[in-house]
Amino acid sequence: MVIIDKKTRKVICVAFCNGKKHDFALYKESGIYVLRRIKIGADSGFQGIAKIHANSATPRKKSKNKPLAKEDKEYNRNLSQERVGNENAIGFIKRFKIVSERYRNRRKRFGLRFTLLAGICNYEIVTV
């Protein structure tokens, strides 16, 4: 899980776990606290975050029998336009193959290495 500042596109915080874990479960277990005045724009993996953080936005999903209305589609489109900077920052980090492919080294050091790569990316954003 990566938390990115919308304006500067810098990585603020990262959280990890061993193996596969749902995004929202990782958020709850990580203990990361976000101020109430800060808006969270999350993907569909964080369904239910509005119960914990009132100032959050997640895409609206269609149900089995009811398709999305035009307002919901417009809302999802606007939300994805806001989040595109976050996805670009994550893609910038994934240019390092150690992050984008299967990690085959010591699990204990993955967090350290990912944090170092995020720091390098933050430095590149500042110097460019």
DSSP bridge pairs for 57? 41
**How high is the pLDDT of residue 128?**
61
pLDDT in tens, 1-23: 888 888 888 888 888 887 788 88
Distance CA 37, CA 28 (A): 19
Closest CA to 59 of 38, 44, 48, 73: 44
Q: Quick one: which H or E segment has residue 73?
A: helix 70-93
pLDDT less than 50: residues of the chain = none
Residue 38 sits at φ, ψ, to 5 deg, of -90, 130
Judge if pTM exceeds 0.85. Answer: no
Residue type present at position 29: E
**How high is the pLDDT of residue 20?**
81
Question: In the chain, where are the structural domains located?
Answer: 2-127
